[in-house]
């Protein structure tokens, strides 16, 4: 059963940097599962910057926007797997459902998270999930934004409930809120 670490916080709070630091303190095979799609030039530049930050540290990178459980399964030989990030994965799942004319809700994300955690139960080593706390501000104006906030919150609760360690990042500083 994998040791699970969840790193959460606001945008640009240092989540990815902290997650990478933890992962790189582990010897052996490291896998980075990137959930971000290439949607425009700015996002492509961000993806490139993240890749360059890992180049000297011997990472295996898997780019997977939808099938997170499958990507984790492909990484079963790794001592540490970093998933960055759950909130982009949720965005991708919502978009895919919309494109197929299907609905996606808290129950659906619960099932997806269950699949991900079931795979983690069969993995050795450590899995680090990065996510955003999107529900700490005002109530979003639109129904779609509220749905996204609610689904992200549900996902974070499910993963945090199973996690061995949960870290909340504030201004680049880690605040451990669960675990050792």
Annotated active-site residue in 24, 26, 50, 110? 50
Rounded Cα distance between 168 and 15, Å, is 8
pLDDT of residue 28: 92
Q: What local confidence, expressed as pLDDT, does residue 89 receive?
A: 98
pLDDT at residue 85 tops 80:
yes
The pLDDT of residue 104 is above 80: yes
| DSSP state letter for 77 | T
* Model confidence at 67: pLDDT above 80: yes
Q: What is the mean pLDDT of the chain?
A: 94
Q: What is the pLDDT of residue 126?
A: 98
Per-residue pLDDT at 131? 98
Domain residue extents for the chain: 3-178
Q: Which residues pair with 31 in a beta bridge?
A: 60, 81
Asked about 18 being catalytic, the answer comes back as no
Compute the average pLDDT of residues 125-135. Answer: 96
| Closest C-alpha among 114, 115, 108, 105 to residue 150 | 105
pLDDT at 26 > cutoff 80: yes
Q: Is the pLDDT of residue 100 over 90?
A: yes
Q: How confident is the model at residue 106 (pLDDT cuts 50, 70, 90)?
A: very high
**φ, ψ dihedrals at 157, nearest 5°:** -65, -40
**Contact status, residue 28 vs residue 43, Cβ threshold 8 Å:** no
What value does the mean pLDDT take over residues 121-146?
Answer: 95
Fold (topology level) of 3-178: Rossmann fold (3.40.50)
Confidence class for position 50, pLDDT limits 50, 70, 90:
confident
Q: Tell me what percent of the residues of the chain surpass a pLDDT of 70.
A: 100
109 pLDDT above the threshold of 90: yes
């Amino acid at each position: 059963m994998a040791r699970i670490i969840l790193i959460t916080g606001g945008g640009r709070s240092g989540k990815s940097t902290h997650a990478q630091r933890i992962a790189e303190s582990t010897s052996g095979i490291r896998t980075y599962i990137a959930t971000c799609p290439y949607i425009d030039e700015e996002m492509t530049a961000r993806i490139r910057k993240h890749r360059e930050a890992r180049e000297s540290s011997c990472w295996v990178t898997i780019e997977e926007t939808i099938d997170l459980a499958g990507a984790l399964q492909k990484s079963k030989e790794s001592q540490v797997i970093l998933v960055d990030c759950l909130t982009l994965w949720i965005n991708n799942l919502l978009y895919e459902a919309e494109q197929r004319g299907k609905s996606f809700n808290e129950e659906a994300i619960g099932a997806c998270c269950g699949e991900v955690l079931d795979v983690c139960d069969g993995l050795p080593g450590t899995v680090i999930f990065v996510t955003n706390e999107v529900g700490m501000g005002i109530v979003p104006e639109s129904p779609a934004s509220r749905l996204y906030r609610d689904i992200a919150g549900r996902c974070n609760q499910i993963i945090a409930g199973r996690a061995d360690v949960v870290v909340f990042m504030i201004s680049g500083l880690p605040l451990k809120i669960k675990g050792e």
